Amino acid sequence: MRQLVIGLLFAMLWASAAVATKFGIQAADPLVLGNVRFLVAGGGMLLFAYLGQSAKHRLPQGKEWTQLLIFGGLNTTVYLGCFVMAMKYVSAGIGSLSVATSPLFIMGISAYWLKRSLKWYEIVGMLLGLLGVGIATWPLLQNSHATLGGIAILLFGMLAVSVATVYYARVEWQLSKLVINGWQVFLGGLLFIPITAIFANFSETRLNTTFWLSVGWLILPVSVVALQLWFYLVSKDAVRASLWLFLCPVFGFFYSWMLMDEPVTGFTFAGTFLVIGGLYLAQKEKFRQQTTLEK
């Protein structure tokens, strides 16, 4: 029962990121919103680590700085930067749906990196996932709730975070998870500053209540609480934890309909069903192995 409650709470919070971003970009340029979030969130984690728990954490050394720069550049600068920019051109529901496709990209990149041939059901699962995104997006392209450019930015960001995830898994980190996360977000924010300075429209930016509520939600409930819940679920059972990602599009479309008045149609349900089906099919071997071990 405990894991059920935690899993549901994780999915509900994680899926809210797209809607929170949509509210934030009503008050500020997406680049400004992203940069403030990165620097405040990363800086806050580092202050907590080095001032609040200084005995447990140390500064990065030598090649660890390069590793953090690469990870932060991919995971924060490119992925989260693309995500926040795409939210100006696509619905919040599509943003949540794209997040759930991350395991498919990770699987394909891992296979290429490790020179492993993909099995037929993994390939079919990835195709179903991409088809599902296409079906859910199609009607939104007709009524200005999404653009092809926005979807392309979103998918490029998903590719970046998938590469970052595979890279993270292959590095033998000696730093604590809190320090790694704090530095990768903060360094990613520093790398994002030139992009914001050159391309952001500061005349559209108003640092009002809507802006700070959006930033606060993205930092605390999403980046802090949801991630801690995710780490707990993964520590208990990594395979079953991934099942909770399947609920993110469901909550995401509900939030976008309820809070942003974005349309939910038969295409939405069909596309979401295909993405969830593709994710399950692509990872069915993991679930089968887990069931065998339990027996």
Radius of gyration of the chain (CA): 19
What's residue 187's pLDDT? 96
Residue 64: which pLDDT band, with cuts at 50, 70 and 90?
very high
Instruction: Choose the final residue of a domain: 179, 205, 231.
Output: 205
CA–CA gap between residue 98 and residue 91 (Å, rounded): 11
* Domains held by the chain: number: 2
Max mean pLDDT range (47-56, 80-89, 260-269, 277-286): 80-89
Domain identity same for 119 and 253: yes
> For the segment 171-209, what is each residue's pLDDT rounded down to a tens digit?
888 998 889 889 999 999 999 999 999 999 998 889 899
Backbone angles phi, psi at 15, to 5 degrees: -75, -15
Residue 51 has pLDDT above 70, yes or no: yes
Amino acid at position 22, single letter:
K
Instruction: Out of 64-68, 80-84, 264-268, pick the least confident.
Output: 264-268
- Whole-prediction pTM value? 0.81
**Average pLDDT for the chain:** 83
Residue 294 has pLDDT above 70, yes or no: no
Residue 159 has pLDDT above 70, yes or no: yes
What's residue 46's pLDDT? 93
Question: 246: which DSSP letter?
Answer: G
Domain identity same for 273 and 189: no
Backbone angles phi, psi at 90, to 5 degrees: -135, 160
Domain identity same for 169 and 66: yes
| Region 237-262 average pLDDT | 77
CA–CA gap between residue 161 and residue 106 (Å, rounded): 8
CA–CA gap between residue 14 and residue 78 (Å, rounded): 19
For 125, the domain range is 1-24+91-143+211-295
Domain identity same for 222 and 283: yes
Domain identity same for 70 and 200: yes
CA–CA gap between residue 71 and residue 171 (Å, rounded): 10
What's residue 293's pLDDT? 46
Contact predicate 65/174, CB 8 Å: no
Residue 295 has pLDDT above 60, yes or no: no
Backbone angles phi, psi at 222, to 5 degrees: -85, -60
| Region 119-144 average pLDDT | 75
CA–CA gap between residue 16 and residue 92 (Å, rounded): 9
Residue whose tokens read 């000696």: 174
Q: Which two tokens stand for residue 17?
A: 């990121």
Domain identity same for 267 and 228: yes
Domain identity same for 125 and 172: no
